[in-house]
Amino acid sequence: NAGVTQTPKFQVLKTGQSMTLQCAQDMNHEYMSWYRQDPGMGLRLIHYSVGAGITDQGEVPNGYNVSRSTTEDFPLRLLSAAPSQTSVYFCASRPGQANTGELFFGEGSRLTVL
């Protein structure tokens, strides 16, 4: 039972490079989201999706793009990486709209931008 799978676990980028963080879940969850975690800041929501074809911005969306072409996958794209995007990124999912259920988190992706 894989749950929420994130890849890669670690990545080093140079300023201006682009990359995609992958997130996949096998629980048929409608809701998926990306958070970043920085010291003293807690988890801050970047983007989220309530179902395939639907995405919306969270608290800190600038510099990031997302898409949701399938229920299972929710990739996070950095088009031109900046040092301020050095962080640990977590993907999380839960069942659909009316459900108050818990979030299930991936293991995190540590990104360093030089």
Binding status of residue 107 toward another protein by CB under 8 A:
yes
Binding status of residue 97 toward another protein by CB under 8 A:
yes
Integer angstrom CA distances of residue 80 from 5, 17, 20: 24, 5, 11
What is the distance between the alpha carbons of residues 106 and 40, in angstroms, rounded to a whole number?
21
Among 16, 59, 83, 112, binds another protein (CB under 8 A): 59
83 upstream amide cis, omega within 30 of 0: no
Binding status of residue 101 toward another protein by CB under 8 A:
yes
- Based on CB atoms, which residue is closest to another protein, 26 or 80? 26
**CA within 13 Å, CB half, 36:** 20
- Based on CB atoms, which residue is closest to another protein, 26 or 107? 107
- Site residues for another protein per CB under 8 A: 31, 33, 35, 40-45, 48, 50, 56, 58-59, 90, 97, 100-108
